C-alpha cells in the first residue's frame, strides 16, 4: 500500500490538515475523513511540484492549518499560505523542514494570523526566507529561538509590519551567510530583540532594517535607522 503526502481542506471547521499516510486511495471530495467532510484534497508535491491549495478559492478561507503526521519532507514551502486572510492558527511542528531551500512568503499577507508553531529543527537548508511573515499584523505568538537559519542569504522583509509581535528569539540565530536584510524588522513596533552580536560578513543590503521598531537593537555592522 503506497504512502501519500496529502492535504485535506474541510469547510466544516475551516481546517487545512496535512497528512503522511499509507492508503490505497486519497480521500475523495464529499466523503468523511478523520471525522470531517472533505471539501478538497491535494497531493503535496515533491521536487518543486505544485501543492495546489494556494490558488484554491475554498482553501483561501481556511482558519487553521495543522501538520498531523511526521514524515512530510518538502523541498519548497515558499508562498504556501500567502494571502490566507482568514487564517488564525498554524501548527507546522511536525513538518520535516531539513531539506527546505525556499521558504519566502510562507505567511505573507496573513493579516489575521495570531499564532504559529514552527518546526524545532528550523530551516537549516533555506536560502530564502524573505517576506516569510510580512504583513502578519495580528501575529503575537512565534517562538523561533534557536532556529537553524545558517544557510539563509535573503531575509529581506522577513517580519516586516508584524506590529503586534513581541518576541521571536532572533537574538539566538546564527546567520553568517546573510546578504539581504533590507526592512527585515520594519514596522515591528512591539518587538524586542537584541541583535548586536550578529556577525554578518556578507551583508550587502540593510536599508530600513529596523525602522519604526524601537525595541530592535541592530547589529553593530548596521547603521541604526529608527
pLDDT for residue 146 = 95
Residues 6+ apart with CB under 8 A from 35: none
pLDDT for residue 45 = 76
pLDDT for residue 75 = 92
pLDDT for residue 105 = 98
Provide the pLDDT confidence category of residue 224 given band limits of 50, 70 and 90.
low
* Cα–Cα distance, 155 to 132 (Å, whole number): 8
Helix (H) or strand (E) holding 16: strand 15-22
pLDDT for residue 51 = 79
* Cα–Cα distance, 194 to 218 (Å, whole number): 7
Percent of the chain exceeding pLDDT 70 equals 96
Task: Give the tens place of pLDDT for each residue, 37-86.
Answer: 999 999 997 544 567 899 899 999 999 999 999 999 999 999 999 999 99
Residue spans per domain, the chain: 1-68, 73-226
Task: Give the tens place of pLDDT for each residue, 79-123.
Answer: 999 999 999 999 999 999 999 999 999 999 999 999 999 999 999
Query: What is the pTM (predicted TM-score) of this model?
Result: 0.94
Contact, 17 vs 7, CB < 8 A?
yes
Contact, 126 vs 99, CB < 8 A?
no
pLDDT for residue 223 = 65
Task: Give the tens place of pLDDT for each residue, 120-175.
Answer: 999 999 999 999 999 999 999 899 999 999 999 999 999 999 999 999 999 999 99
Contact, 183 vs 160, CB < 8 A?
yes
pLDDT for residue 46 = 55
Provide the pLDDT confidence category of residue 225 given band limits of 50, 70 and 90.
very low
How far apart are the two ends of the chain, measured CA to CA in Å? 58
pLDDT for residue 168 = 97
Amino acid at each position: 500500500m503506497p504512502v501519500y503526502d496529502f492535504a485535506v481542506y474541510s469547510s466544516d471547521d475551516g481546517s487545512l490538515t496535512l497528512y503522511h499516510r499509507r492508503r490505497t486511495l486519497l480521500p475523495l471530495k464529499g466523503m468523511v475523513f478523520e471525522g470531517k467532510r472533505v471539501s478538497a484534497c491535494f497531493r503535496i508535491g515533491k521536487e518543486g511540484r505544485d501543492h495546489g491549495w494556494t490558488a484554491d478559492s475554498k482553501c483561501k478561507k481556511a482558519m487553521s492549518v495543522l501538520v498531523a503526521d511526521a514524515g512530510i519532507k518538502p523541498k519548497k514551502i515558499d508562498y504556501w499560505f500567502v494571502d490566507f486572510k482568514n487564517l488564525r492558527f498554524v501548527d507546522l511542528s511536525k513538518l520535516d523542514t531539513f531539506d527546505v531551500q525556499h521558504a519566502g512568503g510562507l505567511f505573507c499577507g496573513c493579516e489575521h494570523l495570531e499564532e504559529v508553531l514552527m518546526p524545532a529543527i528550523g530551516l537549516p537548508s533555506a536560502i530564502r526566507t524573505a517576506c516569510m511573515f510580512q504583513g502578519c499584523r495580528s501575529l503575537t505568538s512565534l517562538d523561533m529561538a534557536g532556529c537553524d537559519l545558517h544557510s539563509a542569504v535573503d531575509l529581506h522583509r522577513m517580519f516586516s509590519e508584524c506590529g503586534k509581535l513581541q518576541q521571536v528569539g532572533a537574538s539566538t540565530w546564527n546567520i553568517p551567510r546573510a546578504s539581504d536584510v533590507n526592512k527585515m524588522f520594519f514596522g515591528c513596533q512591539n518587538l524586542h530583540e537584541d541583535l548586536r552580536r550578529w556577525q554578518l560578513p556578507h551583508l550587502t543590503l540593510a536599508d530600513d532594517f529596523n525602522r519604526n521598531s524601537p525595541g530592535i537593537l541592530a547589529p553593530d555592522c548596521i547603521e541604526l535607522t529608527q
